[in-house]
Amino acid sequence: MTVLAGDGTARTFDYRAGDVGYVPFANGHYIQNIGDQTFWFLEMFKSDWFVDVSLNQWMALTPRYLVKTNLHVGPELLDALRKVKYPVVKYPGFTYYPK
């Protein structure tokens, strides 16, 4: 999991089964399964209000030159970004219609 702070810093942590991670208030985070088995995690919030912001979609909708210049990335990453937001979890019987 990588935690992204508003001051431009980020820290990455590796977790194993049974570990607990913490993301400070107003920090973004990115979770990636780097193993070869199914990954399940439980995310809890102190608030009853939740907003999911897709970093992938955000960067895809940002002018390419800004993403390229600020993140020092190449065309492979820029071409892989999706302008349509995908759900984190699809539930059985739920149909997702991207806007």
Strands 10-12 and 28-30: unpaired
Instruction: Give the distance, in angstroms, between the CA of residue 56 and the centroid of all CA atoms in the same chain.
Output: 7
Considering the candidates 15, 43, 69, 90, report the single residue annotated as catalytic: 43
Contact 78, 64 (CB under 8 A): yes
Active-site residue, 43 included = yes
- Strand, helix or coil for residue 60: helix
The residues annotated with a catalytic role in the active site are 43
